[in-house]
Amino acid sequence: MIEGQDAAFPKKMRVAIIGAGPAGLGMARVLRDLGMQDVWVLERGQIGESFLKWPTGTRLLTPSFPGNVFGVTDLNAISYDSSPGWSLKCEHPTGPAYAAYLEQAALAFGLNVQCGVEIFSVRPKGESRDAGFALTTDHGPAEAEFVIWAGGHFGDPSSGDLSGAEHGLHYSAVKRWRDVGGDEVYVIGGYESGVDAAIGLAEAGKRVVVLDRGDPWGDHDKDPSRRLSPYTLQRLDEARARLPIELTPDVDVLGLEAEEGGVRILAGDGRSWLSAGAPILATGFGPGTGPVTALFEFDDAGTPALTIDDESTVQSGVFLVGPEVSHQGQLFCFIYKFRQRFAVVAKAIAERSDVDLAPLRVYYQNGMVLDDLACCEDDKCIC
């Protein structure tokens, strides 16, 4: 059941899942399979809102392939029995296409989704473990026994502590690359979004210079969460063979300064570049925890600290799912990674609710559960 903004708003919930992206909907599906009642997904925009806001032409990095009948779940699927590759007939879906898959999944799975709900705050109702939570929303107050944050991070753009960042334009603020002014555009950051921006700008007829503090185009890190995907590298090679894209490694950009003629890009080694227009900031995203930030503690890298059940270390009853989940330095930032933690969170909630765990067997059988974090040690990335 998917409800619009004017539908009846649930005032009391067993579980409130905040965010109707792949993490929120996938999490709701597992709880539905466990027979949990009063589970609601609350979304301030539309289902797949972040994907709808992606720049035109941006696609998922991981390929979709309908191999479910062979026991191989589509890498971009949020459940073991669905496949965006099959339903969309596309290997690397665009943002809007993937949002359409998510909406289809929510309908097919019969999930309770309330769109058009802005969450302003989430606070514990008391000090006891099962006191529950009070939610302040633009639809009035609500209560939940458990809260699962699945808000994602696309809506939390980060400037990377760049001085003068207001003179740049963050990647997430661009809808169409052809709308970016100037014949030459500088991109600060050469990871996934930086390369995507460079290719989009070059295809729009602009000369592009990419500045990065490292060398992501030649990096050989074993973790696919920390290096450019094969899909991006392939796109980059093909684009550079016909378009003016200059890659400049080992540039530690410290700040931006407005001056006559444009924006001066200042590097730590004394080099500088004058950009006629606002440079594109491909400087990443924050944790995206929004109104539940105070219910988590964070490590030195700004990553939410979690228990082995992906629960907050400082507030019981609050869980995190999605690309911000990290254990032992390993990020679960791809869909095929973070979906393996849905059943872990569901099990923790179900055990406190005296719910039969038998329905989770199918998740184990389909490789949808990662509850042994030994694989997240050192530089091994077999998650």
Per-residue pLDDT tens over the stretch 47-85: 999 999 999 999 999 999 999 888 899 999 999 999 999
Residue 187 to residues 151, 207, 251: CA-CA distances in angstroms? 27, 11, 12
Percent of the chain predicted with pLDDT > 70: 94
User: From CA 198, how far away is CA 123, in angstroms rounded?
Assistant: 42
Residues 95-117, mean pLDDT to the nearest whole number: 97
* Mean pLDDT score, 372-376: 72
Please write the tens of the pLDDT for every residue from 265-317: 999 999 999 999 999 999 999 888 999 999 999 998 889 999 999 999 999 99
pLDDT value for 153:
86
DSSP assignment, residue 313? S
Q: Is the pLDDT of residue 13 over 50?
A: yes
The predicted pLDDT at position 225 comes to 65
Which segment of 199-213, 269-283, 329-343 scores lowest on mean pLDDT? 329-343
User: Average pLDDT for residues 91-98, to the nearest whole number?
Assistant: 97
Nearest CA among 51, 46, 156, 130 for reference residue 97: 51
* DSSP annotation string for 163-181: BTGGGSEEGGG-S-GGGS-
Average pLDDT over the chain, rounded to an integer: 93
Which pLDDT band holds residue 382 (cuts at 50, 70, 90)? very low
In this model, does residue 95 exceed pLDDT 80?
Answer: yes
Q: Which residue has the higher pLDDT, 98 or 157?
A: 98
pLDDT at 223: 67
The CA distance from 13 to 262, in Å, is 52
Q: How confident is the model at residue 358 (pLDDT cuts 50, 70, 90)?
A: very high
Amino acid, single-letter form, for residue 55: P
Q: Any bridge partners for residue 273, and if so which?
A: 265
For residue 365, give the 3-state DSSP assignment. helix
Residue 365 has pLDDT above 60, yes or no: yes
Report whether pLDDT(378) > 60. Answer: no
pLDDT at position 383 is 42
Q: Which two tokens stand for residue 369?
A: 């559960």
The answer to whether 88 touches 96, Cβ cutoff 8 Å, is no
- Backbone angle region of 199, left / alpha / beta, with phi > 0 → left and psi within -120 to 50 → alpha: alpha
Cα separation of 276 and 265, whole Å? 11
The alpha carbon dihedral of 60, 23, 326, 335 has a sign of: negative
